[in-house]
Amino acid sequence: MEVIPAIDLRQGKCARLRQGDKDRVTIYADDPLAVAQQWRDEGARWLHVVNLDGAFDERDTENLQATARMARSVGIPIQFGGGIRSRAAAERLFDLGVRRIILGTVAVERPALVAELVARFGAEAIVVGIDAKQGKVATHGWQAAGDCAPLELAQRMQAEGVTRIVYTDIARDGMLIGVNVAATAELAQATRLRVIASGGVADLPDLQALAATGVIEGCIVGKALYEGRFTLRAAWQAVGGAILEK
């Protein structure tokens, strides 16, 4: 199972929110590039970068600049989500050097665009983010609640050619209360999609529980790393992964 460190960007800085609430923000570092280099040196094979400002439809110039620097300098691929609402936005990110983009709101509101992007860039480059809040998919930076169930959206996206999703339990995100192993595994088993878990990882047993399901491709880890609950190297060892030596 892949362990993917998160770098959430707020006004060009490395930040974390609690349950996606932009008023409950903690800034962990002023230089995201230095953080990215640290995760690379600890064995990261991917970086998960989130454009918080873009997700909230706010000015995101600093975040895009920081992402471009990471893509140029770190040497491992980036998957990027937050505020991608058009083909032009997707193309710009690929031009910056991003390897995969994560689509959330548009998957609900403009599924035809998802299909168009899969056809244009390939299924490996397009990921759908399914963010669950009380059993329904939330959109627009998790601020808007919908009436679509996660499984329903996953099946719709599968029909559009999507092969990978990131599943986030919003209530757990940034809370260090444990990941929703059951819901994540059920989604993977029901769809046979490649599923990356997100939200709530608090300790190494959380990662081991996800890996033990045998159906979850990876897990995004954020606050637990920033708060020093464990190191990325320890996370790799816990799930039996090989550590890249730099």
- Note the pLDDT tens digit of each residue in 139-195: 876 677 778 999 999 999 999 999 999 999 888 877 787 899 999 999 999 999 999
Nearest to 224 by CA among 22, 28, 13, 37: 28
Domains of the chain in start order, with CATH, are 2-238 (3.20.20.70)
Nearest to 216 by CA among 176, 177, 178, 189: 189
Phi, psi of 149 (to 5 degrees): -80, 150
3-class SS at 246?
coil
Q: Are strands 164-169 and 136-139 parallel, antiparallel or unpaired?
A: unpaired
Burial class from Cβ neighbours inside 10 Å (0-12, 13-18, 19+) for residue 203 reads middle
Whether 95 sits among the annotated catalytic residues: the reply is no
CA distance 63 to 102: 16
CA distance 231 to 237: 10
Q: Which of 53, 131, 169, 206 is catalytic?
A: 131
pLDDT score recorded for residue 246 = 41
Q: What is the mean pLDDT of residues 214-218?
A: 97
Sign (positive/negative) of CA torsion 34, 39, 44, 49? negative
User: What is the reported pTM?
Assistant: 0.93
Tokens standing for residue 18: 């609690």
Q: What is the mean pLDDT of residues 59-69?
A: 97
Q: Which of 8, 60, 173, 206 is catalytic?
A: 8
Whether 131 sits among the annotated catalytic residues: the reply is yes
